[in-house]
A and B are shown apart, each in its own frame.
Chain A
């Protein structure tokens, strides 16, 4: 199917509105993406027609919802090409997935003097859970450094890997500046020492095809709401062998096998890690988002977004006051920049009044900002429903910002 931008924009009702009497431009896609009708209507249908708690009832609707939920798991499995359905754990989102692994993996495999390796490009969600684990266990957090373009220094990574390393946790794509990390290479090096790798895919799965088997990832986490699905749902992929070894994280209903007051045995995968009623309607909505992305074509999405990135980089470079952060050779459609000494918050407030949504600040990645010696950037993160005309509108707003604050 040919990539038809007008048809695509029609699929997203929220894009049609006016903000401050101007056509709405949404450039905050790295924070969350908008939802196509397919997702909204799919969830609406469950609420209106089939809602019932899953895996519990013997009744008609419970069967339908259970089937839809497990079908969603299969859809997510095939989306990232995992080997088995039970390697997909539904979570409330990327943050939860990382916390689950940091807890359960940490309980089993991390002790005093061990090391956890993360990178300088991480979102706080892939820093703090590991920091907490290190505190609990007396382990040490080590950080793979980056260069001035925002690329990880792989030689340094190789040096940091050692017999003390228990796990490597890296982001696939950096949310703050868009760098695409060479995760396949990172995983290969770690595996040579038998060290498993968790990949934070929150900013990756919506931009191109991800194959967890091809990457060799041991854990891969992502969120529904950043890939055109609903909030409050995400997926954790874990290799079967490693998931089997981990103790449960949260406990409660659904995840148990036999419960007496003396002893509890736990359910098999994936239920062992899904305590309580899961967000099954979220999961069904997330699967609808996957189907939407697949119908649109992930290759076409990547091509259009690359065009937007190149066009945006070119247009913004015309401002001599503008300084880009993140000039990695491999990056996705994120434009992160400052306008000389103009405060990003001031710029953001004016840009907002043009009906354009950008994000300003540290993007939950303070160490990245510290590395560049800045207190924040203006970030325009683009999605496949954005257009070149919208980038032109952003340029108009930036011209106004410069005129006002210089």
Chain B
């Protein structure tokens, strides 16, 4: 599915919530669906340190697509991560690099991406794109 179709799907899902608490409850549910990273993989090299919450991010190349695994110590942050993975994971590097992530703004969670929040999410998105860039460069080298 096109990356923007997934984003539009999420925006539609969030349209039914007119209350913040419902939105958060949904994110809490989503956080539970995200596989937990085993403690032994929560190494410093995968850690994105935020002042408020911490995020761990790993990426692998599978059949020409980048597959992300991530976790956070804060539940709502983790819920947002699960959305980011839904949009970005399992795609070719070019798609990830060139994508404009507009869905977060549209579902009213923009303040979570403000650099001053320091919850690790801004750095996480940057890191996701960097992984994609690295895999793209690697693929080119191998060709």
Q: Are B53 and A345 in contact (CB-based, < 8 A)? A: yes
Tally of A-B residue pairs with Cβ under 8 A? Answer: 38
User: Complex Cα distance A95/B54, Å?
Assistant: 27
- Alpha-carbon separation in the docked complex, A360 to B76 (Å): 14
Asked whether any CB of chain A lies closer than 8 Å to the CB of B25, the reply is yes
Q: Min CB distance, B141 to chain A, in Å?
A: 40
Name B76's contact: one of A349, A362, A376 (CB within 8 Å).
A349
* Residues of A close to B20: CB separation below 8 A: 20, 353
Cβ contact within 8 Å between A349 and B24? yes
Chain B residues within 8 Å of chain A by Cβ, number = 15
Q: Which of A330-355 contact B (CB under 8 A)?
A: 343-346, 348-350, 353
Residue-wise, chain A 295-324 has the 8 Å CB interface mask toward B (1 for contact) of: 000000000000000000000000000000
Task: Assess the B53–A404 pair: CB atoms within 8 A.
Answer: no
Beyond A361-B51, A361-B52, A404-B28, whether A346 also contacts B21 by CB under 8 A is: no
A348 to B53, CA, bound (A): 12
Q: Name B12-44 residues within 8 Å CB distance of A.
A: 20-21, 24-25, 28
Is the CB of A375 closer than 8 A to any CB of chain B? yes
Judge whether A376 and B21 touch: CB under 8 Å. Answer: no
B74 & A343 in contact (Cβ 8 Å cutoff):
yes
Q: Is the CB of B28 within 8 A of A376?
A: no
Contact B75 A405 (CB under 8 A): yes
Q: Are B21 and A345 in contact (CB under 8 A)?
A: no
Of the listed residues A20, A344, A346, A348, the one surrounded by the most CB atoms of chain B closer than 10 A to its CB is: A346
> Which parts of B63-121 form the interface with A (CB within 8 Å)?
73-77, 119
Which B residues lie within 8 Å of A345 (CB)? 52-53, 74, 76-77, 119
Ranked 10 nearest A-B pairs via Cβ: A343-B74, A353-B20, A345-B74, A345-B52, A345-B53, A346-B75, A346-B76, A346-B74, A361-B52, A349-B76
B interface residues with partner A (beta carbon < 8 Å): 20-21, 24-25, 28, 51-54, 73-77, 119
Interface residues of A, Cβ cutoff 8 Å to B: 20, 343-346, 348-350, 353, 360-362, 375-376, 400, 404-405
Contacts A/B (CB < 8 Å), 17 sampled: A20-B20, A343-B74, A343-B75, A345-B53, A345-B74, A346-B75, A346-B77, A348-B52, A349-B76, A350-B21, A353-B20, A360-B52, A361-B51, A361-B52, A376-B52, A404-B21, A404-B28
